[in-house]
Chains A and B, each alone.
Chain A
Amino acid sequence: MPEKRYDYLILGNSTAAIAAVEAIRSVDPTGSLALVSDQPNHVYSAPLITYVLAGKIPEEKLYLRPRDFYQGLNVDTYFGVAATQVKREAHEVVLQSGATLGYGKLLLATGGTPIAPPLPGADLQGVFTFTRHDDMCRVREFIQQKKVTQAVIIGGGMIGIKVAEAFAALKLETTIVELMDRVLAQALDETGSAMAKRALEQHGVRVITGSGVTAIGGTDGVVQSVTLDSGSRLPAQLVIMAVGVRPNVALAHEAGLTVNRGVVVNDNMQTNDPDIFAAGDVAEAFDPLLGECRPIAIWPGAHMQGETAGLNMAGQPEEYGGNIPMNSIQVCGLPTISVGLISPPEGAETLEYRSPDGKSYRRMFIVDNRIVGAVFVGDIDRAGIITGLIRQAIDVSSFKAKLMQRDLGLLSLPKHYRKHIVSGPGIEV
């Protein structure tokens, strides 16, 4: 017999989970609802842990909702305890503690796990991944205790860049080693990447691209260096592995749910078990630009998926409209935004603008008179107008000349589009 049975049970405690909680409560204020997280913390923003490490924001500002958020919505919380098994037939979840919780509807919002490349020396003391609050605490303590002066970050993606920025703020001698020929290769085009690299270098971060790591070296079990495939060796007392994150699908897989790269869901964020839903980085979501489902680990998508899942769990039919990949990344004070495709598909028309001072750059790809991708660096104001045009697949042929202009506004757009985007409830212009 389960310890307790809930109408709704949520595994995970990040933005998809809170969006689901809020959605469920908007439909069903009284149904029993509980949330299980393997982390002991109140709901916090994982992207902000590098800001805390850098001392840019106090720890208290990590939290996405007030401390009494769950209590106020009458949600039972099981924090610091992992879910180890989903028993679909019994509608129960087994926790690490041995306890079981029953559910009517279950949401998997368990996010992703950092990929640990099988490098020699990866188990040395001083080698960390950096995606969770406890990672940040361990790294912070390690830097202080071991008087770290040199750090190497393996991977120049979003996490690697943000960790490097924090290390630079802490005055560590920091090197990023990236296998691809540029940093942020998933988020920016070549020019954008080059501008990001320059911003990092101006903040004292050394960036080595096109180079793999063959081994992490150390003595007495403690890290001392990183060896590159060129044979050169970088001294380091601290190594962060930031080569990517993969969906945390083990629970779903063992429960016999359909899993591809992420947990497979329909438009309602429902798995092949009608009582189990999935949302956020663990799930595969529809990418309308590519016309296929794939895991897209981005924040706004996770939130919207959580909301869609929550509404459906509470019995209000709602479809997730899909989400285009997009990223907004500040690189050492340099704003960058990319939406949709970051390299031109075949036959695309490319629009490009560089400001005379070299600080701003924008580029767009147009196929069949529709924008399918855009990159903004430096001046990013009003990028969302372009996001709207991409999302709605608006024909831009009549105002193409205005797309690159600094003062692009709603007024630059054809009246029918203005009326179109403002036709929803409460958003009329």
Chain B
Amino acid sequence: MKRIYAKEEVCIGCRLCEIHCIFEHSGHQTLVKAFSNRENLPEAAVRVEEDGAISFALQCRHCEDAPCLAACIGGAMTRDPQTGAVKHDEEKCVGCWSCIMVCPFGAIRTNSETGKVGSKCDLCAGKDTPACVAHCPNEALVYE
């Protein structure tokens, strides 16, 4: 399957990937509308990690051998049989945090408002190119 790869050598830490991830999942038509009313904005599923000159963007890796699939006690983490993506069903999630316990990337986070897993990358389901990749100005994110 196609996955998102980050190149820490060329990431400039601009965080546009985070902005466009939020916008893509906000349901708004324009970037300005999404961010002019900051209420009800989803959290970014991609996070830029930064330490001095080094940075890279990280989101769910959609691992081939995904430990979160084995750990989920609610059947909320599933593998999409068509795309191979690891999907999270917020309806089924009970917030047991077993996925957080086993994800070696720390790519899954709690959402304190819903008490469930928040902001899990869905590879922008249905899009040819995920928003974070499409809007990375320095091609530090690639989808291949």
Chain A positions within 8 Å of B, measured between CB atoms, are 15, 19, 45, 47-48, 51, 56-57, 61, 63-65, 299-300, 303-304, 307, 326-328, 330, 333, 335, 337, 339, 380-385, 387-388, 391, 408-412, 421-422, 424-429
Residues of B within 8 A of A424 (CB): 63-65
Q: Does B14 touch A at the CB level, under 8 Å?
A: no
- Assess A299 versus B98: contact at CB under 8 Å? Given A45-B73, A410-B58: yes
- Assess A300 versus B67: contact at CB under 8 Å? Given A330-B95, A384-B106, A411-B49: yes
- Which one of B91, B105, B108, B109 lies within 8 Å of A410 (CB-CB)? B105
Q: Does B97 touch A at the CB level, under 8 Å?
A: yes
A92 to B103, CA, bound (A): 41
A34 to B75, CA, bound (A): 21
Chain B positions within 8 Å of A, measured between CB atoms, are 1, 3, 5-6, 8, 47, 49-51, 54-56, 58, 61-65, 67, 69-71, 73-75, 91-92, 94-106, 108-110, 115
B75 near A384: Cβ-Cβ < 8 Å: no
A328 near B97: Cβ-Cβ < 8 Å: yes
A303 near B70: Cβ-Cβ < 8 Å: yes
Distance of A166 from chain B, by nearest CB (Å): 13
B56 near A411: Cβ-Cβ < 8 Å: yes
A388 to B108, CA, bound (A): 14
* 12 A-B pairs (CB sep. < 8 Å): A300-B71, A300-B98, A326-B101, A327-B101, A337-B100, A380-B97, A380-B100, A383-B97, A385-B104, A410-B106, A429-B6, A429-B58
- Which one of B5, B58, B61, B100 lies within 8 Å of A381 (CB-CB)? B100
Residues of A within 8 A of B5 (CB): 428-429
Among A57, A65, A409, chain B packs the most CB atoms within 10 A around the CB of A409
Q: How many A-B residue pairs have CB under 8 A?
A: 130
Q: Which residue of B lies closest to A327 (CB)?
A: B101
Q: Which residue of B lies closest to A379 (CB)?
A: B110
A326 to B67, CA, bound (A): 13
- Which one of A19, A65, A429 lies within 8 Å of B8 (CB-CB)? A429
Distance of A177 from chain B, by nearest CB (Å): 25
Residues of B within 8 A of A409 (CB): 47, 49, 58, 106
A64 near B63: Cβ-Cβ < 8 Å: no
A339 to B101, CA, bound (A): 8
A56 to B115, CA, bound (A): 12
- Which one of A63, A335, A412, A425 lies within 8 Å of B110 (CB-CB)? A335
Among A385, A408, A411, A421, chain B packs the most CB atoms within 10 A around the CB of A411
Residues of B within 8 A of A333 (CB): 115
Q: List 12 extra interface pairs beyond A335-B97, A387-B101, CB under 8 A.
A: A47-B96, A300-B67, A337-B97, A337-B100, A381-B110, A384-B101, A384-B104, A391-B104, A409-B106, A424-B63, A424-B65, A426-B63
Distance of B24 from chain A, by nearest CB (Å): 21
A19 near B70: Cβ-Cβ < 8 Å: yes
- Assess A45 versus B74: contact at CB under 8 Å? Given A328-B101, A339-B101: yes
A328 near B96: Cβ-Cβ < 8 Å: yes
- Assess A57 versus B94: contact at CB under 8 Å? Given A47-B73, A410-B58: yes
